[in-house]
């Protein structure tokens, strides 16, 4: 017989556990100038000093992939998330038998215009 506690743990969301957790510490002695140089070099690779030194120590060089999305993709994602939230609210109201107010219809029209503008910007970027 399963208890509530067992069921909760099985359905627990969040970040998955790492197979090989980094739980060992290694101190590096350096002077203030060396420390600043390490921090500046780590920032160039958009990473922490710890990751920078680990990559340098294991591989002999630092070759990190920078994962960044284009600005247009981030803007589109934000707009789509905003639209999804608004559509959810509209659907909830309509399913409850309520009509949209004049203000909500105006806001919906503005959202449609923003989405059309974003689509046009994406088309221009692709060309």
pLDDT in tens, 4-49: 555 455 556 778 888 888 889 889 899 999 999 999 999 888 889 9
Q: Within this chain, do residues 119 and 75 fall inside the same structural domain, yes or no?
A: yes
Is 2 within the bounds of a domain?
A: no
Residues 102, 80: one domain? yes
89 shares its domain with 121: yes
* Band of pLDDT at residue 66, cut at 50, 70 and 90: low
Same domain for 53 and 90: no
Under 8 Å CB-to-CB from 100, ≥6 apart: which residues? 90, 93, 94, 108
Q: Based on the structure, what is the number of domains in the chain?
A: 2
Q: Is the pLDDT of residue 102 over 60?
A: yes
Question: Do residues 76 and 60 share a domain?
Answer: no
Give the pLDDT mean for 61-75: 73
**Helices and strands (H and E) in the chain: how many:** 5, 0
* Average per-residue pLDDT for the chain: 80
Residue range 65-87: mean pLDDT, rounded: 76
Report if residue 6 sits inside a domain: no
Host domain of residue 49: 23-65
Task: Indicate if 75 and 110 belong to the same structural domain.
Answer: yes
Considering the domain architecture, whether residues 78 and 54 belong to the same structural domain is answered as no
Total-model pTM? 0.42
Distance of alpha carbon 53 from alpha carbon 6, whole angstroms: 40
Is 117 found in the same domain as 75?
A: yes
Q: Which two tokens stand for residue 111?
A: 């959202």
Residue 75's pLDDT is what? 78
**Predicted pLDDT of residue 64:** 66
Residue 88 confidence (pLDDT)? 81
């Amino acid at each position: 017989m399963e208890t509530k506690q067992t069921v909760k743990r099985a359905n627990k969301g969040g970040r998955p556990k790492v197979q090989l957790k980094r739980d060992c510490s290694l101190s590096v002695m350096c002077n203030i100038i060396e420390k600043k140089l390490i921090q500046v070099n780590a920032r160039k690779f958009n990473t922490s000093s710890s990751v920078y030194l680990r990559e340098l120590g294991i591989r002999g060089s630092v070759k990190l992939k920078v994962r960044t999305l284009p600005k247009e993709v981030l803007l589109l994602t934000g707009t789509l998330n905003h639209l999804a939230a608004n559509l959810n609210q509209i659907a909830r109201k309509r399913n409850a038998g309520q009509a949209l107010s004049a203000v909500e219809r105006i806001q919906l029209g503005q959202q449609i215009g923003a989405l059309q503008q974003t689509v046009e910007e994406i088309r221009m970027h692709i060309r």
